[in-house]
Structure 1
Amino acid sequence: MNPRPRLAAVAAGLLLTAGVSATIPASAATQSPASWQSVPKTALVVNARWGGHCTFDRLVIDVRRTMPPVTVKPVKELRYDGSGKKVPLAGKHFLEIKLSPAAAHNDAGKSVYKGPRLQKIWLPALKGVALTGDFEGVVTFGAAFHSKPVYKTFTLHSPERFVLDVKHPPARGC
Structure 2
Amino acid sequence: MNRPRRRQATALGVGALLTATLAFAAPASAATTTAATKAKATQTPLVVNARYGGHCTYDRVVIDLQGYVPGVTVTPVPNLVYDGSGKPVPLAGRYFLEVRLHPAAGHDDAGHNVYLGPKLVKINLSKLKGLALTGDYEGYVTFGAAFDTTPAYSSFTLHSPERFVLDIAHPNTC
Deviations 1:114-171 (A, max 9, x none): 0000000000000000000000000000000000000000000000010000011111
Gaps of 5+ in 2: 1-34
For residue 102 of structure 1, give the secondary structure of its aligned residue in structure 2. coil
Residue matched to 2:141 = 139
Given residue 151 of structure 2, which amino acid in structure 1 is its aligned partner? P
TM-score, normalization: structure 2? 0.77
Identity level (%): 64
Q: CA RMSD in A?
A: 1.5
Displaced runs of 4 or more, over 6 A? none
* Inter-partner Cα distance in structure 2 for 1:161 and 1:145: 22
Residue matched to 2:9 = none
* Inter-partner Cα distance in structure 2 for 1:94 and 1:143: 6
Deviations 1:1-49 (A, max 9, x none): xxxxxxxxxxxxxxxxxxxxxxxxxxxxxxxxx99x6353100000000
Pairwise mapping of residues 117-128 of structure 1 onto structure 2 (< 5 A)?
117-128=119-130
For residue 132 of structure 1, give the secondary structure of its aligned residue in structure 2. strand
Given residue 137 of structure 1, which amino acid in structure 2 is its aligned partner? G
Given residue 136 of structure 1, which amino acid in structure 2 is its aligned partner? E
Pairwise mapping of residues 18-37 of structure 1 onto structure 2 (< 5 A)?
none
Deviations 1:46-105 (A, max 9, x none): 000000000100000000001101000000000000110000000000000000000000
Residue matched to 1:41 = 43
Given residue 71 of structure 1, which amino acid in structure 2 is its aligned partner? T
Residue matched to 1:77 = 79
For residue 62 of structure 1, give the secondary structure of its aligned residue in structure 2. strand
Given residue 114 of structure 1, which amino acid in structure 2 is its aligned partner? L
Given residue 56 of structure 1, which amino acid in structure 2 is its aligned partner? Y
TM-score, normalization: structure 1? 0.77
* Inter-partner Cα distance in structure 2 for 1:168 and 1:88: 24
Pairwise mapping of residues 1-174 of structure 1 onto structure 2 (< 5 A)?
38=39, 39-171=41-173, 174=174
* Inter-partner Cα distance in structure 2 for 1:90 and 1:139: 21
* Inter-partner Cα distance in structure 1 for 2:77 and 2:66: 27
Aligned pairs, number: 138
Given residue 119 of structure 1, which amino acid in structure 2 is its aligned partner? V
For residue 135 of structure 2, give the secondary structure of its aligned residue in structure 1. strand
* Inter-partner Cα distance in structure 2 for 1:148 and 1:122: 16
